[in-house]
Amino acid sequence: MDLTALYASSSPTYAVVSPCNCWIASLSRSGHVLIRSTETLDLQHVFLLNPEFVQKAVYLLWKTKPDTPTSTQICVASLEKAFILDFHQESFYATIDCNQDSVKNIECSPLGQLLFFSELHNKVTIWTLELKKGFVLSHPKADIDQGI
**HEC secondary structure over the chain:** CCCCCCCCECCCCCEEECCCCCEEEEEECCCEEEEEECCCCCEEEEEECCHHHHHHCCEEEEEEECCEEEEEEEEEECCCEEEEEECCCCCCEEEEECCCCCEEEEEECCCCCEEEEECCCCEEEEEECCCCEEEEEECHHHHHHCCC
Instruction: Dump pLDDT digits (tens) for 84-125.
Output: 888 888 777 788 887 677 788 888 888 888 888 887 667 788
Tell me what pLDDT residue 78 has: 87
Tell me what pLDDT residue 39 has: 92
Task: Read off the pLDDT of each residue in 11-17 and give the average, rounded to a whole number.
Answer: 70
Tell me what pLDDT residue 140 has: 64
End-to-end CA distance of the chain: 55
State the chain's mean pLDDT as an integer: 78
Q: How far is Cα of residue 99 from the mean position of the Cα atoms in its chain?
A: 17
Task: Read off the pLDDT of each residue in 62-80 and give the average, rounded to a whole number.
Answer: 79
Task: Read off the pLDDT of each residue in 20-31 and give the average, rounded to a whole number.
Answer: 87
* Domains of the chain as residue ranges with CATH: 15-145 (2.130.10.10)
Tell me what pLDDT residue 66 has: 66
- Residue with more model confidence, 138 or 24: 24
SS (H, E, C) 1-39: CCCCCCCCECCCCCEEECCCCCEEEEEECCCEEEEEECC
Tell me what pLDDT residue 144 has: 52
Tell me what pLDDT residue 148 has: 45
